[in-house]
Structure 1
Amino acid sequence: MIEHKCFQLLEKAIQFEAADIHLVPTREGYSIAFKKDAKLHRSGTIPPQVAVRMISFYKFLSSLDISDRRKPQSGSFHKQIQGENYSFRVSTIPSIYLESVVIRLQKHDKIVPLDELCIEPKWADQFRQVVTKQQGLILLTGPTGCGKTTTIYSLTAHCVNELHRHVITLEDPVENNHAHLLQVQVNERSGITYASGLKAILRHSPDIIMIGEIRDRETAKIAVEASLTGHLVLTTVHAKDPIGCFYRMMDFGISLEELRQTIICISSQRLTRDVSGKTSATFEIIQGAMIDRIAGAMASGERISMVHEFKTEMVSNKSANQKLIHDE
């Protein structure tokens, strides 16, 4: 029964086109919600005794420690549903009541073409131009749920299918399986850390390295080192805008001079929704001389003036019938 309920919940979320499933403990039981277009949609409640068993089943599928409910855990599993292959990333965290779980849904081999991804054709052209570079660091930034993963997989697909380049990814975990990529998952239990994984990848003759997300000092250092070894590196960073991306990398111990030498492009994106409810992405892309100007201004302490000078183009390029989802 529990197994049936678990898969039934996944099917319901897929039919709803949800990005995440939230199982949140409350005093009365567990609240179920689906996240779609950066909004939570409530989908009922379940008794705590049922929810606990469901969570244990999801953890079992993700190769997590079922007996440990006192520390956060993350993992993933794959399953075919309705004839399509999906990845499910499971993240658990203890709360004052019981364990809370979020499940991220990803359809395998789901690639959005650059022209379809970008509202403005010039953004797609900028992306195509920057990924032709032989080396450097391309950073994608924006709030959680803004579509960074979709964008980075679209870029890697373009690099493989159109530029015929060898792309290897280093992810923790692999969020979505793609046939066009050689994907490596960080697994510290097996001795595959970001550092050891990168060393192995560099011996595998890559043209482009995709690092899933920069979330700590080690990953930031590895991304910079890889770009300095003559490779093109694509990765994501959580920051508000391109300038915030600079400061975020500096918080991770990367010097301003290292950023000046390695960064060739920073793209900040937001989701928008038009009057019909259709979602798409808007981008602010900086590269070339503008990166040097920002780095120079930051070195001289001109942070405030630079923020105003490079105020995002997303608002001016956005149609009057579109609204930024994260501003709703």
Structure 2
Amino acid sequence: MDIKGNYSLKKLNTFGIDVASESFYIVKSLNDLRNVLSDHKTKKITVLGGGSNILFSKFLDGLCLKIDLKGIDIIEENENNIIVNIMAGENWHDFVQWSVNNGFGGIENLSLIPGLVGAAPIQNIGAYGVELKDVFISCNTINIKDQTEKEFDEKGCLFGYRTSRFKTIDKNIYIITSVKVRLTKEKHKYNISYGSVKDEIGNREINLESISKAVIKIRKSKLPDTNLIGNCGSFFKNPVIDQSKYFELKKKFPSISAFKVEKNQYKLSAAWLIEFLKYKGKSIGNVGVYENQALVLVNLGGGTGKEILSLANKITSDVYSTFKIKLQPEVEIL
């Protein structure tokens, strides 16, 4: 078992934070995973997928596991749908492109979301009117402590807005090893409810490919290339507030950006709140807020996790002082 000590994680997190792990191991198979967990029961375990939704703020104690389980298999099929089992180490965007190229619908709006398949259920990834839970059937897991296997269906995952049981009540209890989804073969239900997607498609035919390409183009225009500028995409969640609070804010700030999500609830644009406070494009030391999208915090080169966390805390504090809204990070902070 090739376990490496004092291993640099700089190339394994999209923020490009130069931090080390006490020990590090790449998991290639389920047996591999069971064995390494069994042999390191007293160690703190950190699971690393694509490193695209994590901020390392300090040296990582214990054992860091990089999940590299591979495989995409159609396990059921009828004239309308397919059920696909995807191993946790598959790249999410590559899987989306596989589905689009094969004419399978349901996740085209989730194009270009960074990270691996195994991380998708943890925060119920979503974009442009679609969430993972819309196509999700179940996920297989291994318990970190006793290596027992358990399958969770959509209801059992307790999905919410960018959250699930794996981010709340069962955080650091299970490792997701594979995910099952149901995709359409025909009679696709295209979602172009977001105006930006509809505008980008324009007069072109609405299909899986055109939606995927539109989403990719929009995301590329808003988000920096992680190979050039360290970032984790959206750092904060869009806050959901009740109707009375929304009307109160609307009276004070007429141009505030929000949309109704339920009968008496509104989702605010966190980007609007941050931009209103003049943070967009602002830099402090080696870190800053991306000039094209206020939700994105960036490592401008040589930045530390503590610097990014300090900036995030300052933004959170200023947003609360002005709007009495508490921003929550979408990124996991370690």
TM-score bracket for this pair, using the shorter chain length: under 0.3
Q: Which has the higher contact order (CA 8 A, sep 6+)?
A: 2
- TM-score of the two chains, using structure 1 as the length reference: 0.27
- TM-score of the two chains, using structure 2 as the length reference: 0.27
